[in-house]
Amino acid sequence: MRKTTRLLLFIPLCFTVLVAWFAWSAYHAAPTLAAENLRGAGLSISAAIEQLMIADPSFRSLARYTTPDIAYFALIDRQGVIRFHTYQGLIGQPFSGDVRYMLSNGISEQRERLGTGEEAYLLRTTVHARHNEYLLTLALHTYRADQVIRRANTGVTIVAALTIALWGLTLLTLGMFRREERHHREMNRREELARLGEMGALMAHEIRNPLAGIKGFAQLVETDDDIEQARKHAEKIVAQSLRMEALVNDLLAFARDDQGERQTAELSEVIQECVVLVGIEAAAQNVTIKVDAPVPLRAHVVADRIVQLLLNLMKNALQAMPDGGVLTIGLRQKSTTAHISVKDSGSGIAPEHLRHIFEPFWTSKAQGTGLGLALCRKVAEEHGGGLSVKSSLGAGSEFIVTLPVVK
């Protein structure tokens, strides 16, 4: 699973777990909270009723006592006679329950459905007035206390809806990502095929030219009686063969994926090695080489490949200065990256050519394979770095190789 997909699933998953836990805890606590509220209200009302009973032994004042939460309440004496009821028609009526058992039972509470269908909270407790014991039956409306349960239910519903919406969006986004990815892969595949066709055509062209030369000179050798002349033709055949060999070697180097064994190398030493290798050619062209590498920098590289890269750049620079000039090789550290610059004082690269110079088989030279700079960039990227160019006509070009340094 790709990183984006994992991230896209992980974030909603965390959110879902967090929100589900929050909703569940609120939902789980709501009935307990409602029960506590009802018990608190019931006990407060019981205490108030008991006070009124003590203050008024005739219980008449109880008829005026009311709160919005009370559905009804009744007082039953030990003989099972209803001494007070909020519905006065029931006062004096016998109570059919086991009052003595209920009195000895202390406080009892439960939710019960009344005859109207309403679910009420029923509290039975013992109250005292002037040395007499009464059973208080108190029924409370549960609507207000159940508000917390309703809120919790609404919360759970909203949270569930939001979570479903979130997951819907996540799956939709994932689907879009995957579709985009498929589209991208298809585009890449088509581009690769197009590039392959283009490269095939270019290679055929590159091979056909020397091959035509070889064929022509071989036909001449076949028919020529003059051995000296035939030798000259054979030399041409060898030259064309070498050109083809160079093309094939560059192609192989470009296509090669194996990077060899990496070692920590001193970059200034690698530069010096390259300078020595191009020194004679530079002197022959009257080019002065300046090396500006003030600090030692080390990188984890395949030294041969970096030498190949720098040599390519330096040879290109020399070719850009046929009438002499200055080739400056710089080495600097910027943050965690080494910057190796190869700067010439040649004629520079035309702006319209700049964007093509790293493309395989693109060349402005008559004899080039067009793989040199593409190979250089590939090598730099294989090492976790890059290759860029700055150039202006008449002022020369500067190629900058970046490589991660080793501390």
Cβ(234)–Cβ(355) below 8 Å: no
Query: Which of 47, 48, 107, 171 is in the footprint of another protein by CB under 8 A?
Result: 171
324 near another protein (CB under 8 A):
no
167 near another protein (CB under 8 A):
yes
Specify the stretch interacting with another protein by CB under 8 A; choose among 170-178, 225-233, 345-353, 393-401. 170-178
Pattern 338-377, another protein, x by CB under 8 A: ----------------------------------------
Query: Which of 55, 58, 106, 113 is in the footprint of another protein by CB under 8 A?
Result: 113
Of 111 and 315, CB closest to another protein? 111
Pattern 61-80, another protein, x by CB under 8 A: -------x--xx-x------
Of 81 and 389, CB closest to another protein? 81
Q: How far is the CB of 197 from another protein (least distance, A)?
A: 34
Crossing angle of helices 147-223 and 227-255, in 10° steps, is 170
Which residues between 172 and 191 bind another protein (CB under 8 A)?
A: 174-175, 178
Sheet of 70-77, strand order: 82-85, 70-77, 132-141, 119-129, 108-113
Q: Which long-range contacts (CB under 8 A, 24 or more apart) does 248-255 make?
A: 250/369, 250/371, 250/372, 250/375, 251/203, 251/369, 251/371, 253/308, 253/371, 253/375, 254/360, 254/371, 254/374, 254/375, 254/378
Of 151 and 190, CB closest to another protein? 151
223 near another protein (CB under 8 A):
no
139 near another protein (CB under 8 A):
yes
Which pair of tokens denotes residue 345?
A: 């004082």
Of 82 and 301, CB closest to another protein? 82
Q: Which residues are registered as beta bridge partners of 124?
A: 108, 137
Q: How far is the CB of 50 from another protein (least distance, A)?
A: 19
Specify the stretch interacting with another protein by CB under 8 A; choose among 112-120, 126-134, 290-298, 306-314. 112-120
Nearest 5°: the CA angle 170, 174, 177 is: 140
110 near another protein (CB under 8 A):
yes
Of 177 and 362, CB closest to another protein? 177
In angstroms, rounded to a whole number, what is the distance separating the alpha carbons of residues 94 and 78?
A: 11
87 near another protein (CB under 8 A):
yes
Query: Which of 16, 86, 126, 347 is in the footprint of another protein by CB under 8 A?
Result: 86
Which residues does 47 contact at the CB level (< 8 Å), separation at least 6? Answer: none
CB atoms within 10 A of CB 340: 28
104 near another protein (CB under 8 A):
no
Q: For 81, which DSSP code?
A: B
CB atoms within 10 A of CB 46: 19
CB atoms within 10 A of CB 95: 20
- Which of these, 367, 379, 373, lies nearest to 397 by C-alpha position? 373
Of 137 and 369, CB closest to another protein? 137
Of 168 and 294, CB closest to another protein? 168
Size of the site for another protein (CB under 8 A): 37
In angstroms, rounded to a whole number, what is the distance separating the alpha carbons of residues 174 and 151?
A: 34
106 near another protein (CB under 8 A):
no
- Which of these, 316, 345, 329, lies nearest to 290 by C-alpha position? 329
In angstroms, rounded to a whole number, what is the distance separating the alpha carbons of residues 84 and 264?
A: 100
31 near another protein (CB under 8 A):
no
Return residues touching another protein (CB under 8 A).
Answer: 68, 71-72, 74, 82, 85-87, 89-90, 93-98, 110, 112-119, 122, 137, 139, 141, 143, 160, 164, 167, 171, 174-175, 178
